[in-house]
């Protein structure tokens, strides 16, 4: 399970936290897009984006705990799944998923370089 998260002192935690916070905003802005562009029913649009927003908020709030990173990965999947309701969310959430994965990989590289036995 340790492979799915970064150390609490890793500087990439701030970037991951920022990505999650901005995802909450983008997920919320997806509601008008779903309603106006793709005519998704109001209840479905609000319910699905709320789930994605709550996952991203929960991940941001618990990022320093072991449960934070699995919630963060789940938030990425939830964001991408919003694309099935409105294709614009594939692009918006895809960008955030790439930022999340990129920051995570860079954080792992930082941790590897910080270890004295790493080469």
Q: For residue 88, count other CB atoms closer than 10 A to its CB.
A: 16
DSSP 35-54: HHHS---HHHHHHHHHHHHH
Query: Are the C-beta atoms of residues 19 and 100 closer than 8 Å to each other?
Result: yes
User: Would you state the pLDDT for residue 117?
Assistant: 67
Within a domain: residue 27? yes
Domain that holds residue 94: 13-110
pLDDT confidence bin for 81, thresholds 50/70/90: very high
Does residue 80 sit within a domain?
yes
**1 lies in a domain?**
no
Per-residue pLDDT reduced to its tens digit, 8-45: 889 999 999 999 999 999 999 999 999 999 999 999 99
55 belongs to a structural domain: yes
Asked if residue 118 is part of any domain, the answer here is: no
3 falls within a domain: no
pLDDT of residue 119: 53
What is the domain count for the chain? 1
6 assigned to some structural domain: no
In a domain, 50, yes or no: yes
- What pTM did the predictor assign? 0.88
Reported as a pLDDT band with limits 50, 70 and 90, residue 3 is confident
3-state class (DSSP) for residue 66: coil
């Amino acid at each position: 399970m340790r492979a799915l998260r970064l150390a609490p002192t890793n500087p990439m935690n701030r970037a991951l936290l920022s990505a999650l916070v901005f995802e909450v905003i983008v997920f919320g802005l997806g509601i008008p897009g779903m309603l106006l562009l793709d005519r998704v029913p109001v209840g479905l649009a609000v319910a699905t984006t709320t789930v994605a927003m709550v996952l991203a908020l929960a991940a941001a709030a618990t990022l320093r705990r072991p449960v934070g990173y699995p919630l963060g990965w789940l938030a990425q999947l939830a964001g991408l799944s919003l694309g099935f309701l409105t294709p614009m969310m594939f692009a918006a959430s895809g960008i955030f998923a790439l930022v999340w994965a990129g920051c995570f990989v860079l954080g792992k590289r930082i941790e590897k370089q910080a270890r004295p036995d790493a080469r």
